[in-house]
Structure 1
Amino acid sequence: MDSTFWALVALIIFIGIIVYMKVPKVIARSLDERADRIRNELDEARRLREEAQQLLAEYQRKRKEAEKEAGEILTAAQREATALLQEAKQKTEDYVVRRNKLAEQKIAQAESEAINEVRSSAVEIAVAAAGRLIADKLDPKTAGELFKQSVDQVKTRLN
């Protein structure tokens, strides 16, 4: 009985003890549990990946909607700005037309007043000149009557 035989016997006893204590089942169960845990982790990772893809798709859709809405807002703002610009131009043109009409009316009124003043001055000068001429050539009583008649005639024509 040599040492190899005893080594073989010890190995058989050791294997027997291991089988008796159900170590292979424990190892198999441990490996199965680890495989299940890895499978569960893979399933969780797959589920998380799908959720991430769904979130990415949703955010891309929202981004496209936001870009579309921003484009619509920009277009509306441009339309509004154009409308406001046209309205401002129209109001400015109307204001200029009103101011021109007002200025023309003021000019016409000033012209009319100037003409009336010139007429009035001309009448006063003519009356004064006529009064002097008459005073120089006629007696004072007749001159006074002619002067009154002339003034009345001029007043009648002006009105």
Structure 2
Amino acid sequence: MAENTVALTEVQHHEPILLGFTAEGWVYWGLTIFLLLAIFVGKAPKRIAEALDARIAETRRQLDEAKAIRAEAEALLAKAKAQQAASAGDAEAILAHARQEADDLIAEAEKTATELTARRARMAEDKIAAAERSAIAEVRARAAEAATGAAARLIAEQHDVKADKALVDRTIAGLNRVH
């Protein structure tokens, strides 16, 4: 049988090395040097502190502004609640006044209706009384007419020239007397 032989080869991967540092090492050293230069030469901490102080001051200013706005909003809310309470009271007063006016108008209308009814009743009674008086006057006029007519007939039937002469004489004799 044939022997199987496997040849293993080891692949070595070598990174370039310069002064004992690989590329990754040089990146770390470069970053460290840059940061040290930025800190000591560029006065980065002072600038960072100033930037942070400015940000803190801006944040405080915004907080103070927010507190002022909140206080103003609370004052406006309190004012609105007071106005709402006042307008609720005003609404009640207006409703009470309107109810009072309505009651007064109803009472006035009832009084006016009662007076108008009484006045019309008096007018009707006056018309009835006038009609009664007119009817009574008419009845009296007819009765007087009838009585006059009847008296004229009776006189015409019962009186003749002799009776008239005696009546005229008596009347003339009565004229001579003084009352």
Matched, 1:100 2:100: no
Q: Pick from 51, 63, 71 the counterpart of residue 50 of structure 1.
A: 71
Q: Pick from 22, 26, 34 the counterpart of residue 14 of structure 1.
A: 34
Q: Is the helix fraction higher in 1 or 2? A: 1
Bigger Rg, which one? 2
Between the aligned residues of both structures, percent identity stands at 40
Greater RCO structure (CA 8 Å; 6+ sep): 1
The runs of 5 or more residues in structure 1 that have no matched partner are 147-159
Counterparts in 2 of 1:140 and 1:29: CA distance versus 1, 3 Å: farther
Instruction: Provide the TM-score with structure 1 as the length reference.
Output: 0.79
SS at the partner of 1:2? coil
Supply the AA of the counterpart residue of 2:21.
S
Q: How does 1:5-84 map to 2 (within 5 A)?
A: 10=30, 13-18=33-38, 19-84=40-105
| Higher deviation after alignment, 6-15 or 123-132 | 6-15
Supply the AA of the counterpart residue of 2:147.
A
What per-residue deviation string (whole Å, max 9, x for no partner) do you get for residues 20-43 of structure 1? 210111011111111211121122
Q: Give me the CA root mean square deviation.
A: 2.6
Supply the AA of the counterpart residue of 1:98.
R
What per-residue deviation string (whole Å, max 9, x for no partner) do you get for residues 126-146 of structure 1? 111121122123226856997
Q: Structure 1: how far apart are the matches of 2:41 and 2:135?
A: 138
Q: Which ranges of 4 or more aligned residues in structure 1 deviate by more than 6 Å?
A: 4-9
Q: Structure 2: how far apart are the matches of 1:140 and 1:92?
A: 71
Counterparts in 2 of 1:85 and 1:111: CA distance versus 1, 3 Å: same
Query: Offset of 1:110 from its aligned partner?
Result: 1.5
The runs of 5 or more residues in structure 2 that have no matched partner are 1-18, 168-179
Supply the AA of the counterpart residue of 1:22.
K
Instruction: Provide the TM-score with structure 2 as the length reference.
Output: 0.71
Aligned to 2:149: 128
